Structure 1
Amino acid sequence: MTAAPAPLPPPHSSAAADPAPSPALPAVIGPDPAAQAQRMRLYGIVLMCGAVACFACLDATAKYLGRHIDVIEVAWARYVSALVLAFLVFNPLTRPGMLRTRRPGLQIGRSALLLATTLLNFAALKYLQLDQALAILFSTPLMVAALAGPMLGEWIGPRRWAAIAVGLVGVVIVLQPGFGSVHPAALLSMLSAVAASFYAIATRVLSRFDSDATTLFYSNLLGVLLLTPVMPFVWTTPEDPVLIVVMMLFGGLGSLGHFLLIVAHRHTPASILSPFSYSQILWTTTLGFLVFGDLPNRWTIAGVTIVIASGLYLLHRERVRRGR
């Protein structure tokens, strides 16, 4: 709150000549910084929840399409529609600077990792329940924390190593090795989480050199360039018009989710937003039941609870470290 400056004496007079006090002007009350910061936090949290809702819808749509067309065709539809949307929103023809990257090799490597993550995840979703695949992908932050030391020099202490180990135990519970109740495609989800971890590391490095718009554009462009030559060998023309509409709108879910994610982090610290990323499990479980009639079993519930608890503890340790 900022107080107004003291009123000036009237023209052609002096303050000493008129001993009577001037009536006080009302203070000009400016915006409360604390209240404004709180509003920005709430705004970022709402955007974060919207982003993970888009990602949950993206996975549900991929699983639905995967029942009718090839997985590679599903991924191609996602990248093509996302690239068209990027052209409409960013229009690189009038902003040629957006196409310039300071690290082209890293852009290509990061985009290839994202493509691998997408293909592996879509292939796994064809056989797994949405909540099972997501529970395994929730191990990505744990892997990023483990890789940040040797790759970024961000070393972690024994407590966070213990949290990572406990979180991976949660993933093992979801996988249920030896019990045979989870489809072998769960290994594809695990590989997708590994690729996503390296993708996250590459994104953090690349953010120091290129803008978000540039990185998002090249991610979609490489996916289209690599998948289009394969399409004649796997293409299946959808007979249902609904499938064609879903394929056209498919990539918009991913692009909208990433856009909301970027804006949310612009207004709110990542340490506040991170816990809300786990709300995706609520969206995923709801969509899995409404669309596919799936409900999580006790192993998935137990495993995802352990993974989320480990991720939240890692976030807590990160806050403690930064506070020091």
Structure 2
Amino acid sequence: MPEQHPMRGIVLMSASLLLFSCLDAITKHLLQTYSVPLVIWARYTVHWLLMLFILGPSMGLRLLDARRPGLMLLRSLCLLATSGCGVAAFSQMPLAETSAIIYIAPVMVALLAGPMLGEKVHRHHWLAMGIGFCGMLLIAHPGGQVTPTGILLAVGAAAFFSLYQILTRKLSLTENLWALVFHPALTGSLLMSLSLPLIWPDTLPPWPDLLQLGAIGGIAVLGYAVQTRAFRHAPVSQLVPLGYSQLIWSTLLGWLVFNHLPDGPAIIGIALIAVGGLVVIRSQRTKA
């Protein structure tokens, strides 16, 4: 058992969330020039190639281990659908509002864990869902910076991510940790490569754009690695609530990079979604 250093874990977790927010910002910037499928392909391809380069020599074929291949494939497809809906939503809406809607996923997981995992759904889970729904209504208020299509895409991303997390819970009991990270990246890259002849631009992207396309995969790997290290130094109950600080980073980056700040109702809506998620996290800590 690694020695616990809670403050180190908190710092690492915060750094990983900043990395993921930067990933979203670079993705949104690239979407001003390139298609959604191309950006997703670049992210997944660089992701699995880096894992193969870093872990391949030591793990070899163990990266492909799958005791339950059907569920592993379904989980990978859920994450690919999450990326597709989420990236498409970022192409239509600001960072902060899109990130906030996607962050209703923890509440969805708490509700889906009942029928899918046999876990008890408590009243405060429904309360949290109600709070989060009210937050979504405020973000979607008339005159805001969101679109109906963008909202549907963000909700779709949250729904698919919820299914992905449920499947992760089931598979984490039987599957290798790094195989769980490697399979979705490889599956996503292979499937998106089928569309590459149709989505690749007529001319080679300039070097700054190629670096950014590569960076989104690299940042994803680095973010997961830093976050995994954080959980070695501090309990999950201390680190999971920090996840909602990513909404702060998304808001700041949306302002600094895209010159957008949410208006008053949207800020209240973002806060309500965070509160709903924290209610679920608090109840899980109490139960544990």
Output the TM-score relative to the length of structure 1: 0.83
For residues 65 and 190 of structure 2, what CA distance do their matches in structure 1 show?
Answer: 18
Q: Which amino acid aligns with 2:115?
A: P
Q: Does 1:183 align with 2:147?
A: yes
Q: Is the 8 A contact 1:140 1:194 kept in 2?
A: yes
Q: Is the 8 A contact 1:163 1:314 kept in 2?
A: yes
CA RMSD of aligned residues (A): 1.7
| 1:98 corresponds to | 63
**Structure 1 85/181 Cα, relative in aligned 2: closer, same or farther at 3 Å?**
closer
Q: Is the 8 A contact 2:131 2:275 kept in 1?
A: no
Q: Which amino acid aligns with 2:37?
A: I
Q: Which amino acid aligns with 2:187?
A: L
Deviation at 1:198, TM superposition (A): 0.5
Larger Rg over CA atoms: 1
Q: Which amino acid aligns with 1:205?
A: K
Q: Which amino acid aligns with 1:261?
A: Q
| 2:51 corresponds to | 86
Q: Does 1:307 align with 2:273?
A: yes
- Specify which of 70, 74, 79 is matched with residue 114 of structure 1: 79
Q: Which amino acid aligns with 1:183?
A: T
For residues 127 and 95 of structure 1, what CA distance do their matches in structure 2 show?
Answer: 40
SS in 2 for 1:102: coil
Q: Is the 8 A contact 1:92 1:99 kept in 2?
A: no
Gaps of 5+ in 1: 1-35
Gaps of 5+ in 2: none
Q: Which amino acid aligns with 2:220?
A: G
Q: Which amino acid aligns with 1:80?
A: T
Q: Which moved more, 1:166-175 or 1:135-144?
A: 166-175
| 1:294 corresponds to | 260
Q: Which moved more, 1:313-322 or 1:195-204?
A: 313-322
Deviation at 1:311, TM superposition (A): 1.5
Q: Is the 8 A contact 1:135 1:300 kept in 2?
A: no
| 1:248 corresponds to | 214
| 1:280 corresponds to | 246
Aligned length in residues: 284
Q: Which has the higher contact order (CA 8 A, sep 6+)?
A: 2
| 1:61 corresponds to | 26
Output the TM-score relative to the length of structure 2: 0.93
Superposition misfits of 4+ residues, deviation over 3 angstroms: 178-181
For residues 116 and 227 of structure 2, what CA distance do their matches in structure 1 show?
Answer: 24
- Specify which of 227, 233, 236 is matched with residue 270 of structure 1: 236
**Structure 1 57/181 Cα, relative in aligned 2: closer, same or farther at 3 Å?**
closer
**Structure 1 306/241 Cα, relative in aligned 2: closer, same or farther at 3 Å?**
same
For residues 235 and 251 of structure 1, what CA distance do their matches in structure 2 show?
Answer: 17
Q: Is the 8 A contact 2:139 2:266 kept in 1?
A: yes
Q: Is the 8 A contact 2:124 2:279 kept in 1?
A: no
